[in-house]
Structure 1
Amino acid sequence: MLSPYYVYIVTNEKKTVLYIGVINNIQNRLSQHCFDSQNAKKSFAGKYNGYNLLYYEQFDVVELAIAREKELKKGRVRN
């Protein structure tokens, strides 16, 4: 079985910044966001301390996950 893909949204502590991404290992990626936020501050999520998970969706096909990420970045919501 292939690894699932996730579209996820993280935010900072005050919930003033959103970061939307796609990954196939969500636990590892969240750890990377947290490490970057506390140490390197090189990425967008690190610069704005975005390591609090708000939301995620799981997909079996990476193309569907990427399409959903683009929808979310454009502000499109679906039920």
Structure 2
Amino acid sequence: MDRQPCVYILASDAYGTLYIGVTSNLIGRLHQHRTSEIKGFTSRYSVHRLVRFELFDTMEGAIEREKQLKRWHRQWKINLIESENPQWIDLAVGFGFDPVPPRGRRDGP
């Protein structure tokens, strides 16, 4: 899977916060997200579960798809995820990553 253009969707949980990204190294990028190596949106909102990815022949094709998906309504994105991953399974586990622990509710101070 190294150096394969890819668009991916991460989620904080089923029906949670979504993040759409593009990379040529999905495994390396997942590692960066899961370890919060790069501070930003995914580390701030704990968006670490890989719920969908699409492979492309060219980076240009992947970037175009990423832009298209980012313009979509949230429900369309949810429908896309559920078309192939109705249980919102963390697909990164299939690449050797540890499961992301469930997010607990933060009640109180």
TM-score (norm 1): 0.81
Unaligned stretches of 5+ residues in structure 1: none
The question of whether the paired residues in 2 share the 8 Å contact of 1:7 and 1:23 is answered with yes
Whichever structure has more strand as a proportion of its residues is: 1
Distance 2:10 2:26 in 1: 11
Distance 2:14 2:54 in 1: 23
Percent identity, aligned pairs only? 38
Structure 1 residue runs of 4 or more that deviate by more than 2 Å after TM superposition? none
Number of residue pairs matched? 74
Q: CA RMSD in A?
A: 2.3
The question of whether the paired residues in 2 share the 8 Å contact of 1:41 and 1:47 is answered with no
Q: Which amino acid aligns with 1:63?
A: E
The question of whether the paired residues in 1 share the 8 Å contact of 2:32 and 2:38 is answered with no
TM-score (norm 2): 0.60
Rg bigger for which structure? 2
Distance 1:3 1:67 in 2: 17
2:30 is the alignment partner of 1:33: no
Q: Whose relative contact order is higher, 1 or 2, with alpha carbons under 8 Å and at least 6 apart?
A: 1
Unaligned stretches of 5+ residues in structure 2: 81-109
> Residue in 1 aligned with 2:47?
50
